Structure 1
Amino acid sequence: MMRSALSLLLLLSATLLPLTGVAAGCAPEHLVQGCRLEEDSCVCGLGCDTTFIYATREQCLTVLKEKKGDVCQPSPCEHGGVCSQISRDPGYKCLCANTGYYGHTCQRRCPTTEEFSKEDGKATYPIECMIF
């Protein structure tokens, strides 16, 4: 019974693994759940331990960030915003507090009180524009 279950598992592996993009030459004991670099992104899934060399997405993203270099040089932030590297795409966040601007790259001018009061009431005032 045990031998037939193992044979069935090997048969399924040989049949399904090529369909899932896993290398057909990978022995079952070398299959891992992990991540690999593919062009400019991390691809995670089931694969050979020689290809899927990163145990977690975070490890893969760290290596990817190092390969790309410092995404904050030159700074993508406008109007004096401060660039901070993060692990999520696009790899940085602009801190716009006290610049008078907000948005992904501090590209939008903060509205004045008068301009904001003319909004339809559904808009929220950008937190980067608040002065405490």
Structure 2
Amino acid sequence: MVPYEAIYGRRCRSTIGWFEVGQVSLIGPKLVHKAIEKIQLIRERLRTAQSRQNSYADVRIRYLQLEVHDWVYLKISSMKGVMRFRKKGKLSPCFIGSYQILRCVGKVAYELEFSNELASVHPVSHVFMLRNVLGIQHP
């Protein structure tokens, strides 16, 4: 059995493996029962692996409790060899600026107040892209 079929419960619709009904015949009910048992075993192992990975990810997640008018740093994703924010390569910063939160958009997204140099950047950011500014008093 192909993994795609085991996961999604249907055949992968590629041009290589399209069969008409009646072209492929099964040998007997024993073969059908073996296939069903294998499908159940594969699905059970996939569920186990997914729950294990989910438990590893849940430990590392930490949700920030941010409020309107708090100040935060914005995380930027750097690409090798691209000039961003006046630095290139390894010296490019991971976080930029200190921006004020204007409003909360949903549970995990916040709208930030950007300066004119970041006018092309979308103002709404996910909480994982933000870090609290500590020890700095802004007017």
TM-score class, shorter? under 0.3
Q: Normalising by the residue count of structure 2, what TM-score does the alignment of the two structures yield?
A: 0.27
Which protein, 1 or 2, shows the higher relative CO under an 8 Å CA cutoff with sep ≥ 6? 2
Which protein shows a greater Rg? 2
